[in-house]
Amino acid sequence: MNRLTSVLVVAFLAAPMWSQERGSSDSMQLHDLTEMAHTVIETGTYTGWDEKRLVRAGDLGSIAIVRALPKIDVIEHMQMRSALLLLRISFSCLDLCVQTSDDREPKVALLLLEHLRQHGTPPDLVEIGEVQAFILKQTETAKHAK
């Protein structure tokens, strides 16, 4: 009987900690996405696992990209292309994959695109415009699907 009581006490004491961990899953997801975006921006490569996490991110992926971009005035061409690729992936499955309605709205993504536009070269500007058009189209499609 004493052993059962001890097990129950431990289980009840652990429950609030477990719920606190579950509540901070968004911040953990943002941290993981930021690390992944930093790696992709620096190396120019990504895995299927990275893509799977980004497809579910929506605008949270944009926040991760902002945090992962180098804090300098000049963004290299390959870093720009990697950031644009990550944005495109983040908004590729809004209607089915992104669960949070706030992440279906491209608020941070549009600000990020404007920032990239200010630091881009003419070939980058074309790709930035294409990504922006893609994101806006995906957002409209997701609004009509729900």
| Cα-to-chain-centroid distance, residue 81 | 16
Q: Which residue, 69, 130, 127, 136, is CA-closest to 109?
A: 136
What's the one-letter identity of residue 20? Answer: Q
CA geometry: angle at 40 spanning 37 and 43, to 5°? 145
Mean pLDDT of the chain: 84
Average pLDDT for residues 80-90, to the nearest whole number? Answer: 96
pLDDT in tens, 5-22: 443 444 444 444 433 443
Structure tokens at 140: 């409209």
> For residue 40, is pLDDT > 90?
yes
pLDDT bucket at 1, cuts 50 / 70 / 90:
low
37 pLDDT more than 60: yes
